[in-house]
Structure 1
Amino acid sequence: MSRTSRVYVQGLPQLIQLNGHNNDIVFHDDEDYLTFLNCLRKAGETFDFALHAWTLLPNQLMMLLTPGTKEDLSRLVQHIGRRYVPWFNQKYHRSGSLWEGRYNSSLIEPEAYLLIAQKFVDTRLGERQAVRGERPAWSSYWNNIGERQQQMITPHEQYLRLGNTPQERAIQYARFIQSPLSPSIEKRLQDCLNQNRLLGTPQYCQRLERQLHRPVQPRQAGRPRKYFHNQVTDWAWLENQAACLLSRYCYQEVRLPLLESEGNNAAFTATNEPFPLAGGHSALLRGEGTMGCLQMINQHPHLQSTSKLWYQGVMFRSTENTGEHIEQYQQLGVEAFGFAGVDIELEQLVLQYDFFKSLGLQENVELKISSTGTQQEFAAFRAALRAFYQPFTSIFEPEWAECLAMQPENLLRSDNPLLAKLRSIAPAVGDFLGEESRRRFDCLLESLTKIHVPFEVDRWLYPSNAYCQTHFEWHCDKLMEHSLLCRGGRYDDCASTVLETPIQACGFALMLDPIMRLLRLTDKHLLKQQVTDVVIIPGSPAASTEALSIGRSLRKTFPQMSIANDFSHMRVNACVRNARRLGGRFIIVVPPDGAATEVALYDRDSGEEQTVNIAKAISILSRSLNALPVC
C-alpha cells in the first residue's frame, strides 16, 4: 500500500519531529550538537524556510518552521540526513539509519496554536531534565525569552504581536511559557505529529477539509464500541461523582422548579417559547439554573452574604428561533454568592479540574480563559468595534450587520476571509481593561500556574452570557462541533441588576451530555465500575420470601452497601450472569427450598464460590467493607 501524502498548505507553519532509531541517542556531546546546528545553519542558506523554534534532546529533535514550498521542507530533512548522519556514523564507528523512519510533521493553525506549539518545542524536556526542573540547554528557549540571540531564529507574526519591542515580546513570552502545558494539548500535538494532521480549531479544520478534499484532523484510534452498559446506571454514576466532589467543597444542593414565570430575565440563555398551562396561564420551561438560584437568593436575603449552591437536572432549549422544536439536555450548575475576591473563581476552576481528573479525562480537556473587564470596560470595547467596522458595513452581509448591532465581538471569531483580515487590525479587548482588571486577571493566572492547573488564555473567547471580569470554558476537540463541556465566569453586574441590590456572583455549568459522550468515546473503564455490592438471587419462586428477608437483614447490618434482590425468576445461572454484568461484588443464591440455613456465596474479586451459613456470609461482607470505595 502506498504511503499517504503529507498535508501541505502554503504559508502554514509546521512542527517537525525526528526520533532516534529505536530511541537511540543521536547527540552524545557538545560537538554533536554544534555539528548538527552547523548543518541546520547551512541548510538555511540553501533552502527557503523560516525557523521559529527548535530543541535538541539526546534522542530527539523538534523544529517549528514555515517552509517556502513543500520541496524546501523535504530537502531540509534530506540535507540533515546527508550531512549529519554520515559524520555521526564515522565518529562513533556505526552504520545504517540514525532516524526512526519518516519524520513526523503537523501543520499548525497560526492564530490559535502557533504560540502553543512554540511553547511545546521550547519547553520540551528529557526525563532527567524534567525531574530536575531544568530547561533544555540546546534550544531556542533562550532566544525567545531574550537571554541569548540566535541568528537562525525568525520570529513568527504571532510572536511579534506580543509586544512593540523585542524586550516586551521576550517578557510576555517568558511569562506565557511559565504556565503548564495542558495534557490535552500535548496529546493532541503528539497525535497530529504521528498522523501528519493539522492542529487547529474544529471550524478551521472543517474549512480546510472542504478546500483540500481530504481529512486533516487526527483520527480516534481503535474501532467504535458496539455496546454500552445500562445508561441509567452510567448517568447515576456520573452524577454521583459530581455530587461527592461538590460536597467535599462544601457546596449545598438545591432543587429548582421545572417551569419558570415569563417575567424572568433572559440574560443567561435564550428564552424558550411560553409553555401553555391550564386556566389560560403560561410559563417557560427551565432553560438554565442561574435564574432559579437568583430567585432563591432574593427570597432568602440571608443567603446573599455568602452561599455556595449547586443544582442538576433536565434543561430545555429551542433548536430553532420559532420555538417549535424543543430539546432537553442534562446540566449540573454551581453558583457562589457574596464572594468579591478572585479566590472563589480559582476554587471553582480547581474544582472543575479535579472533576475531569476524577473521570480520567484530564488528557482530553482544555481550559480556555479570558477577561473582559468590568461591564463598562467591555461596553467601551464593543463601542470601539462598532466604530471600527462602520466603514465596511456597505459590504456586510445581513447577519453580519445584525451581529454588529448586538454582539460585535462575534465578528472577530468568524472564519470569513474578509473578517479574518480585518480581525488582525481590529481593537482588542485587552486595550480597554483598567489597571484593576488587569491586576485581578494576572493574579488569577499566577495562582493557576502555581497550583499546576493547565490553561490557555484565549483572546478570541468572549462571553455568550452576561459575564464580566473572568470568563472560562472547557473544551474537547474530539467531540467536534459539540466540544463545549463547561462554561462559567463572574456575573456581578447582571446579578445585581436582577436582584436590584449589589451582590457578587460567580458560577459555572457542566454539560453532562457531552461529558458522557466523551467518557464513552474514550472507552473509560470508570463506567464499568461496580454499582451494586450484593445481589441476592432466589433459587426458586418459593425462595423469594426468604431472599427478601435476607436482603432486609443485610441492609440493616450494612447501611453503607448497595444490596439488590433479583426478581426476574429466570434460571439461577442466567441470574448469576446478569448480576455479574451489573458489577455485583458478591452474589448470594438462596436454596430452592427456601431454607436459608446455608447459601451459595460468589465473590467476584477472589473468584471463590463457597457454601456458607448466614453468619459466615455476614463475616465475609464485613471484611470486604475496607475494600469498598468511599464517596
Structure 2
Amino acid sequence: MNTLQAVRGMHDILPADIAGWQWLEARLADRLNAYGYTEIRIPLVEKTELFTRAIGQGTDVVEKEMYAFDDRNGESLCLRPEGTAGVVRAALQHGLLNPPGLKVWYTGPMFRHERPQKGRQRQFHQTGVEVFGVATPEVDAELIAMATRLWTDLGVDDQLTLEINSLGDRDDRQRYRNALVDFLRPLADRLDPDSQRRLESNPLRILDSKNPDTQALLADAPRLHDHLGDEAAAHFEAVTGMLGALGIAWTHNPGLVRGLDYYGRTVFEWTTDALGAQGTVCAGGRYDDLIEIQGGRPTPGIGFALGMERLLALVEASGRRFGRAPHAYLVSSEAAEHRLGLAESLRDAWPDIRLLTDLQGGSFKAQFKRADRSGAAVALVLGEGELAAGEVTVKDLRGDAPQQSVPRDRLAAALRERFEAA
C-alpha cells in the first residue's frame, strides 16, 4: 500500500523550518500590538455567500479559486480565500463597530484553488490588519507607516518598494470603467484570454494583466487617476503628502488595482524583485463600501494582508538564519529518576534553558552521538562518580574548552552565565 501524500499545493511546515515561522510570527505580533491592534481569530470555514457578496461574482477568486462545497444540510460553505470578509462578518455579528476605531489583526491559513508554483500555493498563510470606522487620510498614512516599520524590524526594508494608487469613489470608478471599456472594446481580439473575459465582468483587473502584449495596448488607455472626483483626489494627495512628511518613499502606480470588488480610494502594495515572478509581499487598501455590502451601516474601513511564505522567503534571502540549538544535552548512566530530577531542577533554576535529556539510554558512546546530532553546545554528564560527588561534568561539544566538574547546586548559574554572556 502506498503512503498517503499531502494534497497538491498544501505543504507541511516541518520542524527544521518552524524556527523561522515562530520568529516571524512573534515579531509581527509585537509590532502590531504596539500600534494598538488586538488579535482576532476567525473560522477557516464560512458561508460561501460571505465571499460571493463581498468579493464579487466577476472576480477570479469567486469564479475559479474558491474551495466551495455543500455540507450535509445542503448549505454552501467554503474554505476562506482571504481574511477581511470574515473579520467584517465577525465585527457585525458581535457588535464591535461602535464606537468607531476598532483595530484588529489576524493570522492563519487561506485557501485558493489555483495552479501551485513557487511563492503561490493552494494553502497559504497571511497576516492581516483592519481598521474600522475612521475615514481620515491619517489612518491610511499610519497603516502604511506601521508596515514600513515592520520591514525595518525584519531587516528587509531595502528589498521592498511601496506602490500606491487611488481607485476613487464608486461613481469615479463607474465613469472610469465606462471609459476603459470604450477604449478596449475595439481592441478585444488583441487582448489575452483572461482580459477578454474580464472586459465585461471586471475590466479594471485588465490593468493588472501580466501579459506584455496586453500591457502594450494599455499604454494609451485612459487613466483612473484622471477620473477621480474632488474628494477622492484630495484624500490621495493628503495621504501621499503625509508619507512624504514621514520620509516614506513611494511610487505612484496608476495601473495598481485590487482583485476584489470592495476596494476604493487608497490602494497600495509592497513589491520586491528578490523573489522572482511572485513579487508582491503585502497589499491592501481602503474598503469603505464593504460593511454596507455585508448588511451593516455605511462604515469606512482599511487594511492590508501580507503573505507569510513570501515574507519569510525574503527574510531568508536577506541572509538571516534561524534555529535555536539546545544549550545542553544530558547524558547519564544513572536511573531515570536521577537524570529527570537533575533536568527538572535545572529548569526550575533557569526556566529559559533549552535542555534535552537522553531518554533512550544505552552506552555513553551512543548517547554522545545523539548529543552531537542534537546541535547542543555542551553535554552534561551524570555518571556514577558524578552522582556520588554531587557534581555534573560539563563537556564542550562545539569547541575545545576543557571539560569541567561543576557542583550540582551551581550548575544552573554556571550554564546561565556561560550562555547569556555569549
Does 1 or 2 have the higher relative contact order (CA < 8 Å, sep 6+)? 2
**Change in CA separation of 1:538 and 1:285 when aligned onto 2, cut-off 3 Å:** same
* TM-score w.r.t. length of structure 2: 0.80
Please name the residue that 2:371 is paired with: 576
Offset, 1:420: 4.7
> Which runs of no fewer than 5 residues in structure 2 stay unpaired?
1-13, 116-120
Matching residue's letter, 1:518: L
Please say if residues 588 and 599 of structure 1, whose CA atoms lie closer than 8 Å, have aligned partners that are also in contact: no
Please say if residues 81 and 112 of structure 2, whose CA atoms lie closer than 8 Å, have aligned partners that are also in contact: yes
Offset, 1:599: 2.2
Please name the residue that 2:7 is paired with: none
1:362 aligns with 2:157: yes
**Change in CA separation of 1:358 and 1:294 when aligned onto 2, cut-off 3 Å:** same
Offset, 1:293: 0.9
Offset, 1:606: 9.6
Please say if residues 310 and 332 of structure 1, whose CA atoms lie closer than 8 Å, have aligned partners that are also in contact: yes
Matching residue's letter, 1:612: V
Matching residue's letter, 2:406: V
Distance, in Å, in 2 between the alignment partners of 1:564 and 1:495 is 51
Offset, 1:418: 6.6
1:312 aligns with 2:86: no
Distance, in Å, in 1 between the alignment partners of 2:209 and 2:75 is 41
Please name the residue that 1:285 is paired with: 79
Distance, in Å, in 2 between the alignment partners of 1:349 and 1:356 is 11
1:600 aligns with 2:393: yes
* TM-score w.r.t. length of structure 1: 0.55
Number of aligned positions between the proteins: 388
Please say if residues 130 and 302 of structure 2, whose CA atoms lie closer than 8 Å, have aligned partners that are also in contact: yes
User: What secondary structure sits across from 1:463 in the alignment?
Assistant: coil
1:589 aligns with 2:374: no
**Change in CA separation of 1:256 and 1:543 when aligned onto 2, cut-off 3 Å:** farther
**Change in CA separation of 1:295 and 1:618 when aligned onto 2, cut-off 3 Å:** same
Offset, 1:417: 7.2
Please name the residue that 2:91 is paired with: 297
1:438 aligns with 2:233: yes
Please name the residue that 2:332 is paired with: 539
1:467 aligns with 2:263: yes
Distance, in Å, in 2 between the alignment partners of 1:602 and 1:455 is 54
Distance, in Å, in 2 between the alignment partners of 1:436 and 1:536 is 65
Please say if residues 205 and 258 of structure 2, whose CA atoms lie closer than 8 Å, have aligned partners that are also in contact: no
Offset, 1:490: 1.1
User: What secondary structure sits across from 2:48 in the alignment?
Assistant: coil
Distance, in Å, in 1 between the alignment partners of 2:292 and 2:267 is 18
Which residue of 268, 276, 280 corresponds with 1:480?
Answer: 276
User: What secondary structure sits across from 1:485 in the alignment?
Assistant: strand
Which residue of 247, 250, 254 corresponds with 2:33?
Answer: 247
Please name the residue that 2:10 is paired with: none
1:618 aligns with 2:404: no
Q: Deviations over 1:141-176 (max 9, x none)?
A: xxxxxxxxxxxxxxxxxxxxxxxxxxxxxxxxxxxx
Distance, in Å, in 2 between the alignment partners of 1:587 and 1:247 is 37
Distance, in Å, in 1 between the alignment partners of 2:398 and 2:139 is 42
Please name the residue that 1:549 is paired with: 341
Please say if residues 537 and 575 of structure 1, whose CA atoms lie closer than 8 Å, have aligned partners that are also in contact: no
User: What secondary structure sits across from 2:257 in the alignment?
Assistant: coil
Matching residue's letter, 1:231: D
User: Within 5 Å, which residues of 2 pair with 1:157-172?
Assistant: none
User: What secondary structure sits across from 1:343 in the alignment?
Assistant: helix
Please name the residue that 2:47 is paired with: 261
Offset, 1:393: 4.4
Please say if residues 330 and 355 of structure 2, whose CA atoms lie closer than 8 Å, have aligned partners that are also in contact: no
Q: Deviations over 1:454-507 (max 9, x none)?
A: 221111111212211111111112222211111111111122321421222111
Offset, 1:344: 2.5
User: What secondary structure sits across from 2:157 in the alignment?
Assistant: coil
Distance, in Å, in 2 between the alignment partners of 1:592 and 1:276 is 63
Please say if residues 371 and 470 of structure 1, whose CA atoms lie closer than 8 Å, have aligned partners that are also in contact: yes
**Change in CA separation of 1:421 and 1:573 when aligned onto 2, cut-off 3 Å:** closer
1:428 aligns with 2:227: no
**Change in CA separation of 1:449 and 1:316 when aligned onto 2, cut-off 3 Å:** same
Distance, in Å, in 2 between the alignment partners of 1:550 and 1:479 is 48
Offset, 1:279: 5.5
Offset, 1:509: 0.9
Please name the residue that 1:275 is paired with: 69
User: What secondary structure sits across from 2:136 in the alignment?
Assistant: coil
Offset, 1:518: 2.7
Offset, 1:425: 3.1
Q: Which moved more, 1:484-493 or 1:408-417?
A: 408-417
Q: Deviations over 1:213-262 (max 9, x none)?
A: xxxxxxxxxxxxxxx98112222222222222222223222222121122
Distance, in Å, in 2 between the alignment partners of 1:250 and 1:606 is 45
Distance, in Å, in 2 between the alignment partners of 1:338 and 1:568 is 58
Offset, 1:270: 1.4
1:374 aligns with 2:169: yes
User: What secondary structure sits across from 1:479 in the alignment?
Assistant: coil
Please name the residue that 1:386 is paired with: 181
Offset, 1:419: 4.7
Please name the residue that 2:19 is paired with: 233
User: What secondary structure sits across from 2:256 in the alignment?
Assistant: coil
Distance, in Å, in 2 between the alignment partners of 1:612 and 1:588 is 13
User: Within 5 Å, which residues of 2 pair with 1:489-504?
Assistant: 489-504=285-300
User: What secondary structure sits across from 2:86 in the alignment?
Assistant: helix
User: What secondary structure sits across from 1:527 in the alignment?
Assistant: coil
Distance, in Å, in 1 between the alignment partners of 2:320 and 2:397 is 17
Distance, in Å, in 2 between the alignment partners of 1:248 and 1:377 is 36
